Amino acid sequence: MRGTILLTGATGFIGQAVVPRFLHAGFRVRGLLRPDSMWPFVEHPNLERVVGDVRDSASLERACEGMDGVCHLAAAKADEACSAQTNVDGARHLRFAAEKSGMAFIINISTQSAKLVRRGVYARTKAEADAILSSASVPVTTLYPSLVCGGKGSGAFETLWRISGLPVVPVFGGGNAVYYPIHRNDLAELIVRAAHAREMFGRSYDAGGPEAITLIQLIRLLASHRGRSPAFLPIPLPIGLLAARLLSFLPRPPFTASNVLGGAESVTLDSSPLYRAAAFTPRPISRILTEETALLKMPADSDPVADELAILSRYILSMECQRWKPGPVEAAWYAQALRGHTTIATHSLGIVRRWPFLLGGLDAITKRFRDGPLQKKLLIVATIVECHPVSAAWLLPQDHSRISIILLALLACARMGGKMLLGAFFLPFPGFVRRHVSHV
């Protein structure tokens, strides 16, 4: 079947692989774009964007108008309130909008975690969303992917790649949980084929790769591609959950209770019915690892201006416990701003690019050199961040618990103390500071 399809979560990790495949298959694609998100796709005659949010029922109803079907990829993983609004309320809004617009099908992308016995916020809300959508009058095809990988920025897989380089790797619950890694391009192909096949409508399928592997086995394989052989430190489940609970008060915790529970329990998937129905078998683990480790090792095309912007923005946002990656548009703004300040445009902060961890100390020691290149560039980057819509998520007033405020204050004090100590380290080397970051 061909036709028109709406994609929620179109700009996400999986969505960016699904959109091109639907276009290649002859669909007219409409991507739902949140107001604070960037549109990563090139222009295409059969691709359109509509601003909206699954949490906003009115905008979702407008997005569904005239669509034959919808592929539901949008999901929130960490914050409890946001997970409930996006995953549960979003599913309820989508079911109503799809029924109202007379859609022919819904492709619902769930998660392996929804099948866990002990569920964290993400798994619980995704399971609730599945139940809501399964009760729709519109035929729903639900896929349960396992660990999805493919390309830089691949979430959990790239995190595993990073920690595989550590000498000692902490693992929750012994690290014996089983996963079925699947490449995002293969998952995208399965999704498009599910939208083609009416005989798949109204059914649920496991959507993992063809091979099972434990977490420790996967990390060992990744480490072997680095020439490493790490030791493993098992973290008992109660300690992991306690740590996740304490860290949950931070705006962006390094791990959540969902991560702990998901890493401590195995879920058995049988994806062979999906392979038969879609007439497609994903690539094996060996090929995934060969392709992905080569890509992760490959240095990106170096753009000094973009690299500098990324480092400075990461430093500024770290003070707010936030993460955001500037894109080509922001890099162009930064380059234009530098051209307007000829005294600093040609001054490369090479030391910061080579050793980003020095930035806090250099920032502290150069506060008295307000006209120097580092301070001016930090001011330019702060302005770019503040003017971008994504900053509304942390600059606008928000409600915080008392514990959250205390933890954030302690973290801010710790960061400030670290900056001052590192800055004091540079005091005996004024020539070094002037040469690299304080004088043009």
Mean predicted confidence (pLDDT) in 167-191: 92
Mean predicted confidence (pLDDT) in 394-423: 66
Same domain, 284 and 350: no
With beta carbons less than 8 A apart as the criterion, state whether 175 and 232 touch. Answer: yes
List the alpha helices (DSSP H) in 227-284: 237-247, 257-262, 272-278
The pLDDT, as a whole number, for residue 92 is 96
Please tell me which residue, 72 or 121, carries the higher pLDDT value. 72
Tell whether the model's pLDDT for residue 78 goes beyond 90. no
The pLDDT, as a whole number, for residue 310 is 83
With beta carbons less than 8 A apart as the criterion, state whether 280 and 190 touch. Answer: yes
Mean predicted confidence (pLDDT) in 156-180: 86
Mean predicted confidence (pLDDT) in 59-74: 96
The pLDDT, as a whole number, for residue 336 is 83
Same domain, 292 and 308: no
Angle separating helix axes 373-387 and 304-318, nearest 10 degrees: 70
Most confidently predicted of 46-60, 171-185, 356-370:
46-60
Tell whether the model's pLDDT for residue 291 goes beyond 70. yes
Nearest alpha-carbon partner for 226 in 165, 159, 163, 287: 165
Same domain, 93 and 52: yes
Mean predicted confidence (pLDDT) in 394-418: 66
**Considering the chain, what percentage of its residues have pLDDT values greater than 90?**
43
Distance between CA atoms of 264 and 118, rounded to whole angstroms?
10
Amino acid identity for residue 206 in this structure: D
Last residue of a domain, one of 270, 296, 322: 296
Same domain, 351 and 262: no
DSSP line for 391-413: GHHHHS-----HHHHHHHHHHHH
Helix (H) or strand (E) holding 168: strand 168-172
User: Judging by DSSP bridges, how do beta strands 231-235 and 182-183 pair with one another?
Assistant: unpaired
The pLDDT, as a whole number, for residue 347 is 53
Q: What is the DSSP letter of 191?
A: H
Q: What does each C-alpha distance from 376 to 180, 356, 367, 418 come to in angstroms?
A: 48, 17, 10, 22
Confidence of residue 97 (pLDDT cuts 50, 70, 90): very high
Q: What is the DSSP letter of 390?
A: G
Same domain, 186 and 263: yes
Distance between CA atoms of 374 and 371, rounded to whole angstroms?
8
Same domain, 248 and 351: no
Mean predicted confidence (pLDDT) in 235-257: 79
Rounded mean pLDDT of the chain?
Answer: 84
Tell whether the model's pLDDT for residue 355 goes beyond 70. no
Last residue of a domain, one of 239, 262, 296: 296
Q: What does each C-alpha distance from 11 to 31, 40, 125, 162 come to in angstroms?
A: 8, 7, 21, 24
Same domain, 433 and 289: no
How many CB atoms are located within 10 Å of the residue 158 CB? 16
Alpha carbon of residue 267 to chain centroid: 23
12: CATH = 3.40.50.720
Same domain, 132 and 268: yes
Mean predicted confidence (pLDDT) in 168-182: 90
The pLDDT, as a whole number, for residue 84 is 83
The pLDDT, as a whole number, for residue 294 is 74
Q: Which residues pair with 31 in a beta bridge?
A: 7, 49
Tell whether the model's pLDDT for residue 120 goes beyond 60. yes
Confidence of residue 440 (pLDDT cuts 50, 70, 90): very low
Tokens 């580092």 belong to which residue? 374
Confidence of residue 392 (pLDDT cuts 50, 70, 90): low
Mean predicted confidence (pLDDT) in 375-395: 78
List % helix, strand, coil for the chain (3-state, nearest 5).
55, 10, 35
The pLDDT, as a whole number, for residue 30 is 98
Tell whether the model's pLDDT for residue 338 goes beyond 90. no
3-class secondary structure, 36: coil
Least confident of 165-169, 306-310, 381-385: 306-310
Last residue of a domain, one of 296, 326, 352: 296
Give the count of domains, the chain. 2
Q: What is the DSSP letter of 84?
A: I
Tell whether the model's pLDDT for residue 296 goes beyond 80. no
Please tell me which residue, 396 or 184, carries the higher pLDDT value. 184
Tell whether the model's pLDDT for residue 59 goes beyond 90. yes
Q: What is the per-residue pLDDT across 27-54, written as a single tens digit (0 to 9) for each?
A: 999 999 988 778 889 899 999 999 999 9
Distance between CA atoms of 67 and 105, rounded to whole angstroms?
10
Distance between CA atoms of 17 and 54, rounded to whole angstroms?
20
Q: What is the per-residue pLDDT across 187-227, written as a single tens digit (0 to 9) for each?
A: 999 999 999 999 999 999 999 999 999 999 999 999 998 88
Owning domain of residue 199: 4-296
Same domain, 268 and 327: no
Mean predicted confidence (pLDDT) in 244-251: 71
Same domain, 288 and 309: no
Same domain, 309 and 353: yes
